[in-house]
Structure 1
Amino acid sequence: MVSRFSLVLLLSSVLGLVGCVSQPPVTLYQLDNGNPGVPASSKGLAVLLGPVSVADYLQRETLLQRQPDGSLTSASEARWAGSLGADIDQLLLRQLAWRLDSQRLVLAPSAAGFVPDVQVVLSITRLDSGPQQPAVLDAQWRLLDKRGQLRDSRIIHLEEPHQGAAADQVRAQSLVLRRLVEQLATAIQPLSEPPAEEPRKAAPAAPARTREPNEPSGPQIPKAAPVRTDVEVFRF
């Protein structure tokens, strides 16, 4: 009885080991920031980055794979090493600070007392790729000045080819995000100055009086009234 129990336990252990060996290891990935330089200026443009919204379908651990028919499947051997949304925030922050050469970049919500020159409101509606599909980024940004006025709004669509492997797909997705920041920095730089006010229009002049056809030109001299001479005088 004891030997039979030992045999069953041994077989279960062997089967468990076989299952562990046959299961492929999971590889973890992070977006590539591209090694941006550290901005030197501590008095550069003050930028509030956010809110940055990411599409709901990207809020998962597994690396999604876009299929030729447009459907999405989860990669069984590839996962994100953490929150994809947090990775996107850090990539955008570091790349934008480097391109603007400013240390004064803050992720939303900002700390009390921080008054931004520009606020970036960004929405990422697509960021994916597949073994046979390029990395695709769809996004929209809105730029607000320090008075809260909308100064720029743009819809972006970017694509980047890759070699098909998961690692190269992550590289391509990172690259389209860095290209997004490059265009964003170009749009932000002119907004450091307030918008020019439109010149005030002069009030229209009063229309000149039209002269009658028989009216003489030049200054008018008042006519003298005739003196009455038909007055009777009575003497007593």
Structure 2
Amino acid sequence: MTVVRLPLILLLTGLLGLVGCTAYQPVPLYQLDGGNAELPDEKGGVAVLLGPVSIADYLQREALLQRQPDGSLTATSEGRWAGSLAADIDRQLLRQLAARLNSQRLAMAPATPGFTPQVQVLLSISRLDSGPQLPAVLEAHWRLLNPDGKLLDGRLVRLEEAHQGTIADQVRAQSLVMRQLVEQVALAVQEYGNLPPVVAEEPRKKTPVAPAAKPARPKAPVVEPIRIEGEVFRF
């Protein structure tokens, strides 16, 4: 009976390959869930300029951070964001606001030439995170301006949502507080944005000037009799 022995180097190569496959397993990627935000078919609706939108520095990355009980933030190895979280927030805000307002006339700041908004939404997000033992928390400040830059409404917001501790459920909870924020902003836009559509002013047409009328000839004075004593008439 002949025993076939693998060379030691081949055996070591196989073991290293197995260890490598175990160490470099694919990491799950996550995005915020916008829910059933269907875009309206019609092109009408209130014209809204969304932004500038400012987001805290620690959110401008792909690492999925976990809030610890002592307040610190650590990156988890169980998943990460599928791209930039800041860009994902912008997309979700625009899409969800368009769906809630039933309007296609939304644009991210800066506005493109020819777009005249009826209202402008300024938004600052200072916190959006969660942790295995801590709920999802969103802290933000939104303001609503009219076309002249006058403040119509504004609010400081803190929203919380519980979860079951897994990364997937934490992302679900963060997505939910984002949708709650958009709902608040949409209600304010509906209250202050029900204005007639902004229509570009047409150039005024020159009114034709009528020719000057010829001066009328002076009429001869009407002779009226003046009665005085003695029945004498003067002309």
TM (normalized to structure 1)? 0.75
TM-superposed deviation, 1:20: 2.6
TM-superposed deviation, 1:108: 1.3
Is there any run of 5+ residues in structure 2 with no aligned partner, and where? 1-6, 196-235
Distance in 1, Cα, partners of 2:26 & 2:48: 42
Moved over 3 A (4+): 6-10, 22-25
TM-superposed deviation, 1:80: 0.5
Matches within 5 A, 1:45-84: 45-84=46-85
Deviates more, 1:24-33 or 1:156-165: 24-33
Q: Tell me if 1:17 matches 2:18.
A: yes
Q: Tell me if 1:129 matches 2:152.
A: no
- Deviation track 1:159-210 (CA, whole Å, cap 9, x = no partner) reads 000111101100100000000000111111121257xxxxxxxxxxxxxxxx
Matches within 5 A, 1:104-123: 104-123=105-124
Instruction: Give the aligned partner of residue 182 of structure 1.
Output: 183
Aligned residues: 189
Distance in 2, Cα, partners of 1:8 & 1:193: 76
* CA RMSD of superposed structures (Å): 1.7
TM-superposed deviation, 1:14: 2.5
Instruction: Give the aligned partner of residue 140 of structure 2.
Output: 139
Cα separation, partners in 2 of 1:42 and 1:66, compared to 1, 3 Å: same
Matches within 5 A, 1:150-189: 150-189=151-190
Distance in 2, Cα, partners of 1:174 & 1:22: 30
Matches within 5 A, 1:180-219: 180-192=181-193
SS at match of 1:25: coil
- Counterpart amino acid of residue 149 in structure 1: K
Instruction: Give the aligned partner of residue 226 of structure 1.
Output: none
Q: Tell me if 1:97 matches 2:101.
A: no
Distance in 2, Cα, partners of 1:175 & 1:77: 21
Distance in 1, Cα, partners of 2:26 & 2:39: 36
Q: Identity rate of aligned residues, in percent?
A: 67
TM-superposed deviation, 1:7: 4.2
SS at match of 2:39: coil
Distance in 2, Cα, partners of 1:9 & 1:155: 64
Deviates more, 1:78-87 or 1:19-28: 19-28
